Amino acid sequence: MMGCKQIKSLIDEAERPNLLPYEAAGHVAACPSCQVFASDRETLRKLLAAGARVSAPLNFDAMLQDRLQQRKAGGSPSWFVPATYLRLGAVTAGLLVVVLVAQYGGVFNGPKPSGTHTPLEGPVAVAQPDLKVRAPIQPVGNATPVNTKAAQSQMLRWIKTPRGGAIVARSTPESGVMIADHQVVIVRGPKGDQVIPMQTVSMGAQPLLYGNGARPTAARPVLSSF
């Protein structure tokens, strides 16, 4: 059994205003509200359909031929479609924005040296206080060997860490102190190399080193990021 709402929908959707579906006709005969609605709709639709229709002027064909000839004669080249070029421009601008955002976000930067952002698992003993590197520092991977005096004075070196990774260290020839980028400081002295673990606290992406000079500390490094 359909309600008045459904019947009114059927009345509204009828192909002709006075040609109701069977279900609607039966209901309308017995429902005053739907009768009024059906009558109103029929009158409105007839009113709209009865509006004066306009037709094309007598010289329409001639005017159209003139415009067509003008379009053929002075039209832009077929390959030039303004809408297409606008779309191309929009796509290019969009790609440029994506590239700039990716560049800003560092997507295109090369891989960082291993060990720099290695997540820590629990307390970490970075180096034993008594670890001494006596032998010439051996490079890892494809780094250039540093067993020559010339190589040892290089500013940048790959150094193995006791944890099995590798870090980049910078040396300062005048002081003999090598400042590592990550967690340890290697001091080269007359008695050989000494590895000193340093406390680090990260603020954002930049680790800060805390230490009390060259004395080895037993404190484990603390890494925390904000």
Partner 1 sequence: MATVTHEAQALGLGGSRSIEAANDHELLAAIRDGDEAAFQEIVRRYRNPITNFIYRMIEDYERAVELTQETFIRVYTSASRYQANYSFSTYIYRIATNLAISELRRRKRRKFVSLFSPFVNDEGEAVEIDPPDGNPLQDQSLIEDERRKAVSRAISSLPEKYRAAIVLRDVEGLSYDRIADVLKLSEGTVKSRINRARNLLREKLSAYI
Rounded to a whole number of angstroms, the minimum distance from the CB of residue 65 to partner 1 is 9
Specify the DSSP element, H or E, that contains 132.
strand 132-133
Strand order in the sheet with 177-180: 132-133, 192-197, 184-189, 177-180, 166-172, 156-160
Of these, 57, 74, 110, 190, which contacts partner 1 (CB under 8 A)?
Answer: 57
Distance of closest approach, residue 46 Cβ to partner 1, in angstroms = 9
Query: In the complex, what is the shortest distance from the CB of residue 17 to partner 1, in angstroms, rounded to a whole number?
Result: 9
Closer CB to partner 1, residue 12 or residue 23? Answer: 12
Stretch that binds partner 1, among 62-70, 81-89, 104-112, 131-139 (CB under 8 A): 62-70
Which listed residue (6, 23, 35, 61) binds partner 1 by CB under 8 A? 61
Q: Which residues of 71-98 are buried (b: 16+ CB within 10 A; e: fewer)?
A: eeeeeeeeeeeeeeeeeeeeeeeeeeee
d(CA 158, CA 137): 9
Among 44, 99, 156, 219, binds partner 1 (CB under 8 A): 44
When asked if residue 51 is in the footprint of partner 1 (CB under 8 A), the reply is yes
